[in-house]
């Protein structure tokens, strides 16, 4: 009888031991799963940027850590054929494998049959380029698109680069353009600034062919002739002025002499922080009809700042306390 009891107890012990082992294994698996979620890997995302080198634009894509990204449709660009995407701006190595998991921010560069390539200056990556010297790329004739990540651009850095069509500034670090940086880049139609830009130098985009611009709130000053007389030439060699939209933000303090002369804007909305106007800042903007000064504006114009024959309406928003109105500010207008 005693032996039977012992056998039963031993059997129960073995069953309980087995159940405990299974439970322990299950608990370990659960902890492993919990550990996988505990490192927040499911919340980590990376940005995949597409540098199309003059092709149709593709928006950046957010990708979860360890996931893959769908290959976009092949790009289109007039006069050439798309080849593939590369991790290197000089197309070294093999084309990018879209089946590879993404575990960091990446930029992919489009390769084209015509040999065009991207020029990307990156101070956030492996190259400590903080400042570009004067006339460093003066007169370059093959560059169509430029991405600049921060830095200080010197005098005439890309001056008279007559094939350059698009410039993108993408860094949040403080940066500025120097004098004449893109002066007389006659094909330049599009410029995008990120926040962080503090100063646009004299003649920076003078005699380009921009159609619109948005000035970030980080910009405090715009130099003399910065966007002077942006235009294209028609078939007869006549100037067709192109600058039709200017978006200012609060934070801008000064606009230089003839900075936006000959722009084709019809309306201007000027921030209250703007208190320093160079002479003739918006001179001969022949389509300008309305100027609006924001709440809190105190200073109106420099000498001849708004001499534009079509100007017929000036609006002072609530809480404007005008302390200064400069000489000939609205002279030769239709007010």
Q: How confident is the model at residue 87, as a pLDDT?
A: 92
- Here the CATH number for the domain that contains residue 67 is 2.60.40.4270
Give the percent of the chain with pLDDT over 70.
Answer: 80
Mean pLDDT for 199-224 is 94
Across-strand partners of 64?
A: 45
32 and 66 fall within a common domain = no
Measure the CA–CA gap between 119 and 51, rounded to whole angstroms.
10
53 and 28 fall within a common domain = no
Measure the CA–CA gap between 105 and 10, rounded to whole angstroms.
60
15 and 48 fall within a common domain = no
Measure the CA–CA gap between 270 and 277, rounded to whole angstroms.
11
CA 86 to chain centre: 22
Q: Which domain holds residue 31?
A: 1-39
pLDDT at 4 over 60: no
Strand (E) or helix (H) holding 11: helix 2-38
Measure the CA–CA gap between 55 and 122, rounded to whole angstroms.
21
Residue 139: inside a domain: no
Give the percent of the chain with pLDDT over 90.
Answer: 45
| pTM confidence score | 0.64
Collapsing DSSP to helix, strand or coil, 147 comes out as strand
19 and 56 fall within a common domain = no
Q: What does the DSSP 8-state code read for residue 87?
A: S
- The string of pLDDT tens digits covering residues 271-290 is 999 999 999 999 999 999 99
- The string of pLDDT tens digits covering residues 114-153 is 665 555 554 444 444 556 778 888 888 878 888 776 567 7
């Amino acid at each position: 009888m005693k032996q039977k009891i012992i056998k039963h107890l031993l059997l129960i012990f073995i069953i309980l031991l087995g159940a405990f082992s299974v439970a322990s294994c299950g608990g370990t698996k659960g902890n492993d799963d919990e550990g996988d979620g505990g490192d927040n890997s499911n919340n980590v995302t990376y940005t995949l940027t597409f540098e199309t080198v003059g092709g149709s634009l593709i928006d950046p894509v957010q990708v979860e850590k360890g996931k893959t990204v769908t290959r976009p449709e092949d790009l289109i660009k007039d006069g050439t054929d798309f080849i593939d995407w590369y991790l290197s701006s000089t197309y070294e190595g093999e084309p990018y494998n879209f089946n590879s998991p993404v575990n960091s921010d990446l930029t992919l560069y489009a390769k084209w049959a015509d040999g065009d390539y991207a020029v990307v200056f990156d101070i956030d990556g492996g190259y400590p380029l903080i400042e570009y010297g004067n006339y460093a790329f003066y007169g370059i004739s093959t560059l169509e698109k430029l991405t600049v990540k921060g830095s200080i651009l010197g005098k005439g850095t890309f001056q008279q680069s007559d094939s350059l069509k698009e410039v993108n500034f993408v860094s949040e670090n403080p940066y500025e353009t120097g004098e004449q940086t893109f002066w007389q880049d006659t094909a330049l139609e599009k410029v995008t600034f990120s926040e962080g830009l503090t100063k646009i130098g004299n003649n920076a985009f003078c005699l380009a062919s921009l159609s619109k611009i948005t000035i970030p709130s980080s910009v405090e000053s715009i130099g003399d002739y910065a966007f002077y007389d942006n235009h294209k030439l028609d078939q007869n060699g006549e100037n067709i002025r192109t600058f039709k939209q200017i978006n200012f933000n609060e934070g801008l303090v000064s606009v230089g002499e003839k900075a936006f002369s000959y722009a084709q804007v019809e309306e201007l909305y000027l921030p209250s922080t703007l208190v320093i106007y160079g002479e003739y800042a918006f001179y001969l903007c022949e389509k300008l009809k309305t100027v609006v000064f924001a709440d809190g504006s105190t200073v109106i114009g420099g000498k001849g700042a708004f001499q534009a024959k079509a100007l017929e309406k000036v609006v002072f928003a609530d809480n404007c306390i005008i302390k200064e109105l400069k000489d000939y500010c609205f002279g030769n207008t239709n007010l």
